[in-house]
Amino acid sequence: MMAVLDRFCRFLERAERSPHTIRNYRHDLDRLAAWFASRSEEPFLPSTLTPADLRAYKHWLIAQNLKPRTINRKLATLKSFLHWAVDVRLLRSGHGLRVPRPVREARGGPRWLDRQEQHRLLRAVERSGALRDIAAVTLMLHTGMRVSELCALAWKDVSVSERHGLLTVRYGKGSKRRDIPLNRDARWAIRTLGYGEHAGTSALIFRGQRGPLTPRGVQLLLARYARTTGLEGVTPQALRHSFCKNLVNAGVGLEKIARLAGHDSLETTRRYCEPSLQDLEQVVELVSERE
């Protein structure tokens, strides 16, 4: 069986799967093989599996108290393995093996900061006096940029005048380019970092002590400010979500929000319309009659 798994991993390498993905696939299949051996007197091979085995495997995963996401990943690994087994003729076509359906996972809405939390965070950053940090947080809150996009931003990617500004994301997710108009707060942040001196150059805007600012560096600086304010879940993604939520609350249409955020699907953007607990608290207060 080890030889079969080795062949499968070489197939994944040729398919240019990442080393991390290959390690996960191999780990999942090793665990599956060990489980199968513990309950069956047959070796674990594609041809020895039965529909009953697949159903029992899913039940066993659930009994391990694994998170739904982990269970579903392991089921997806098994599905990919069986497809490959058919392609290399280790399993006949029309084998009748059907990987069980994924475990349904309760889906929470994206984490964002409400207006009060955004104010607390900005206040903490401004009190530090670190212009780079102030500008980074301001831009993320007012442009919805992904952290990788922020770190790759160069001076040639922004243009600022007294009343207008434009930021170009040249290599967004999926290598897609998009333009984001800059509001007053975002224009102020760009000027603060020396736009007049560096405009049009290829130099990166955000730098750390040892070179360009990295996504990990942004995560760490946000975590530092979060500790000083007692806020939880302050991440680059949470600031991006906050930008989208602010637009939803302002009545902006989903098509415009999707364009600004670089979403491929309106379904992604629609998640920001899901009411948070605070949204629901405000709604029920509308019908309260007591002062």
Specify the pTM: 0.60
Average pLDDT score over residue span 24-52: 90
Q: 185-205: per-residue pLDDT in tens?
A: 999 999 999 999 999 999 999
Domain extent at residue 30: 2-87
Q: Say what the pLDDT of residue 106 is.
A: 57
Q: Are residues 76 and 144 in the same domain?
A: no
Q: What is the pLDDT of residue 279?
A: 75
Q: Are residues 76 and 171 in the same domain?
A: no
| The two three-digit tokens of residue 169, written as one number | 């994301």
Statement to judge: residues 81 and 121 lie in one domain: no
Task: Output 72 or 287, whichever has higher pLDDT.
Answer: 72
Residue 146 included in any domain: yes
In a domain, 284, yes or no: no
Considering 42, 70, 87, which residue would you say is the last residue of a domain?
87
Please state the rounded mean pLDDT for residues 61-72: 90
Say if 101 falls within a structural domain. no
Within a domain: 104: no
Q: Looking at the structure, do residues 194 and 233 belong to the same domain, yes or no? A: yes
Q: How many residues does the chain have?
A: 291
Q: Are residues 195 and 271 in the same domain?
A: yes
Q: Where is pLDDT greater, at 96 or 169?
A: 169
Confidence band for 180, pLDDT divided at 50, 70 and 90: very high
Residues 186 and 263 in one domain: yes
Q: What value does the mean pLDDT take over residues 126-149?
A: 95
Q: Tell whether 193 and 61 lie within a shared domain.
A: no
- pLDDT score of 233: 87
Per-residue confidence (pLDDT) for residue 202, from 0 to 100: 95
- Tell whether the torsion through CA atoms of 221, 223, 229 and 232 is positive or negative: positive
CA–CA separation, 16 and 152 (whole Å): 25
Q: Are residues 221 and 139 in the same domain?
A: yes
Are 68 and 181 in the same domain?
Answer: no
> How big, in percent rounded to 5, are the helix, strand and coil portions of the chain?
60, 5, 35
Residue 261 and residue 120 share a domain: yes
Residues 25 and 83 reside in one and the same domain: yes
CATH number at residue 200: 1.10.443.10
Q: Is 288 contained in some domain? A: no
Is 171 part of a structural domain of the chain? Answer: yes
Mean pLDDT of 13-23: 89
107 has a pLDDT exceeding 70:
no
Decide: 182 and 161 in contact? Cβ < 8 Å: no
Count of domains forming the chain? 2
Q: In the predicted model, is pLDDT for residue 30 greater than 80? A: yes
Tell me, yes or no, whether 16 lies in a domain: yes
At 109, is the pLDDT very low, low, confident or very high (cuts 50, 70, 90)? Answer: low
Q: Are strands 178-181 and 165-169 parallel, antiparallel or unpaired?
A: antiparallel
Query: Is position 150 within any domain?
Result: yes
Q: What is the largest CA-CA distance in the chain?
A: 77
- The SS3 assignment for 46 reads helix
Phi, psi of 100 (to 5 degrees): -60, 155
Q: Which stretch of 142-146, 154-158, 266-270 has the lowest confidence by average pLDDT?
A: 266-270
Give the integer Cα–Cα distance in Å for 27 and 268.
31
Domain of 39: which CATH number? 1.10.150.130
Q: Give the start-end residues of each E strand in 105-250.
A: 158-160, 165-169, 178-181, 207-208, 211-212
| CA distances for 174 relative to 77, 140, 143, 248, 264, angstroms | 24, 20, 19, 25, 9
Instruction: Average the pLDDT over each of 78-92, 196-210, 216-230, 265-279 and give the range with the smallest value.
Output: 265-279
Q: pLDDT for 225-273, tens place per residue?
A: 999 888 888 999 999 999 999 999 999 999 999 999 999 888 888 877 7
* Residues 122 and 202 grouped into a single domain: yes
CA neighbor of 81 nearest in space, from 57, 104, 62: 57
Task: Give the pLDDT confidence score for residue 232 in this predicted structure.
Answer: 87
105 pLDDT band (50/70/90 cuts)? low
